[in-house]
Amino acid sequence: MLRIGIIGTGGIADAHIEGYRAFPETCEIVALADVVPGKAHDKALAFGLTEVAAFDDPRAMLAEARLDIVSIATPPSTHAALAVAALDAGIHVLVEKPMAPSLEECDAMLAAQRRSGRMLSVVAQNRFRDDLATLKDVVDSGMLGSISHIRVDSAWWRGLPYYDLWWRGTWEKEGGGCTLNHAIHHIDLLLWLLGSPTEITAMLANAQHENAEVEDLSVALFRYDRGLAQLTSSVVHHGQEQAIVIQGAHARVSQPFSVVAERSRPDGFPEPGGDPDVVSRIDALVAARTPLAHLGHEGQIGDLLAAVREGRAPVSTGQDGRNAVEVVTAIYKAGFEREFVALPIAASDPYYRAGRLVANAPHFFEKKASLIEAAS
């Protein structure tokens, strides 16, 4: 029976608690920790975890609770130090997105993983959604042909009070705005589907949140071989209509799922009715899929538990988390410096280092509130 601890008992910790509780035959939650006095105890009571030890010091929990796995669900600026401490203590780590605010910190986490021999997994719960796993299967099948263009809309909406929470809305504590903390999911999916781009450029703005230093909107362009991708990261989009649209040589697939395929007339214009053969082949592939047994955080936690038992890598690794942070870093560098940024980003690049982004980031506005708890 694997012994589980969770550091950070804010809202996202609920998904971790429920995820572990879905596998009672494999693991048990034995400890919770939060730096706010009493908060871990209150979270344990709320979930009926009467036998769980509650700590106000995360490092005390790592030292005393005899853990096999720890979930880190704290603000991004704390991820690296906590993950390194846990790995060095011989504990497997599942860390919330984003992995860390800088590539330097990501690499410190990966170094700790290598020297400890433990596992490091970064939350990428959207890989464990049937609609998105379907896109992955279609892309991997090769039925689309070479990829021409991908449009990713990471479209969310948040009101002004969202940035009143103490760690949100600042470059130092949150590490960035919607690009890092919301679109990181879609960036991970883009990399999962297509791999890393070779070049990125971007523009950033704060369109609607006068109480935050960080951006609430960014638009980035990516170069992929002969094709291009575009990513909109936002917390100003009413309706929160998120989408991924992949255009290949033979067909288009998208999430929400649909498939369209054109066929050329002799003069190059599209044939009415498209190409039903291509559509039917893709539809058959989709229909033959076995649905995922566990979804979201529960799916990722189940995969990590299985990976520990089987001695294999988890579906979402520390390197995957670093790759997503590298893309975010390139978007910020491109937006701040108004340039094209080539990937990979070298360790000699100033933006690789912790603190450089904070030093160079524009303050669109100044933070006006610093609440310990978000308003309910």
CA–CA distance, 217 with 156 (Å, rounded to integer):
10
> Is 239 buried (19+), middle (13-18) or exposed (0-12) by CB count in 10 A?
exposed
The pair of structure tokens assigned to 28 is 């048990």
DSSP state of 233: E
Instruction: Give the model's pLDDT for residue 376.
Output: 54
Q: Regarding the domain with residue range 2-125+295-317, which homologous superfamily does it belong to in the CATH classification? A: NAD(P)-binding Rossmann-like Domain (3.40.50.720)
Residues 331 and 338: their CA atoms lie apart, in Å, by 10
Q: H or E stretch including 7?
A: strand 2-7
CATH superfamily of 127-291+324-360: Dihydrodipicolinate Reductase; domain 2 (3.30.360.10)
For the chain, the helix, strand and coil percentages under 3-state DSSP, each to the nearest 5? 40, 20, 40
Burial pattern 94-133, b for ≥16 Cβ within 10 A else e, equals: bbbbbbbbbbbbbbbbbebbeebebbbbbbbbbbbbeebb
Q: Which residues pair with 55 in a beta bridge?
A: 33
Three-state DSSP class for residue 246: strand
pTM: 0.95
- With CA atoms as reference, report the closest residue to 73 among 90, 56, 94: 94
Q: What are residue 224's DSSP bridge partners?
A: 227
Asked whether the bond before 256 is cis by omega within 30 degrees of 0, the reply is yes
Is the CB of residue 304 less than 8 Å from the CB of residue 68?
no
Place of tokens 């679109």: 183
Please report, in tens digits, the pLDDT of each residue of the chain (376 residues total).
999 999 999 999 999 999 999 999 999 999 999 999 999 999 999 999 999 999 999 999 999 999 999 999 999 899 999 999 999 999 999 999 999 999 999 999 999 999 999 999 999 999 999 999 999 999 999 999 999 999 999 999 999 999 999 989 999 889 899 999 999 999 999 999 999 999 999 999 999 999 999 999 999 999 999 999 999 999 999 999 999 999 999 999 999 899 999 999 999 999 999 999 999 999 999 999 999 999 999 999 999 999 999 999 999 999 999 999 999 999 999 999 999 999 999 999 999 998 888 999 999 999 888 888 766 5
- pLDDT recorded at residue 173: 86
* pLDDT computed for residue 369 by the predictor: 85
| Of 170, 138, 156, 118, residue with least CA distance to 279 | 138
Q: Which residue has the tokens 């603190």?
A: 355
- Going from N- to C-terminal start, the domains of the chain cover 2-125+295-317, 127-291+324-360
Peptide bond between residue 98 and the one before it cis (omega within 30 degrees of 0): yes
